[in-house]
Structure 1
Amino acid sequence: MTQGTSGTPNRYVLMDYEAQEKRQPTAEERAAKKEKSLWDAKKALAERKKADDAFRANFERLKAERLTREQKS
């Protein structure tokens, strides 16, 4: 047996796979998946809103500080 470039033997292994049909989810599984995706989306939106609100508050604070400095100059 000859060695390949990676040091492994050069041989082919034939695999015989049978096609398996994918099991269809039940109505309960589909409903649960849909509910989870809605919950995840609401959670993501709430986190995004919180981050946006924090960013906006910081932006306004920095803007007020800058305007105060400019007026003193």
Structure 2
Amino acid sequence: MIKDRAFGRQDSTAAAREANKMFRKVEAAPSEHAKVDKAFQANRERLKAERLARESKHPTNKAR
């Protein structure tokens, strides 16, 4: 490997770069629980938006 004297770094060779690709951290696939939770949250937000739209069309005097 060639040292970069100005910065004290070493240039990696093509073989070293290729080997490093094998050891990269991969993001784990979401678990079944995470998928279900994400779908639940999305549905909850959709229903909330629908409720707010409905309430804005027909306001009531509900005290919260």
TM-score by length of 1: 0.44
- Greater fraction helix: 1
Structure ranking higher on relative contact order (CA contacts 8 Å, 6+ apart)? 2
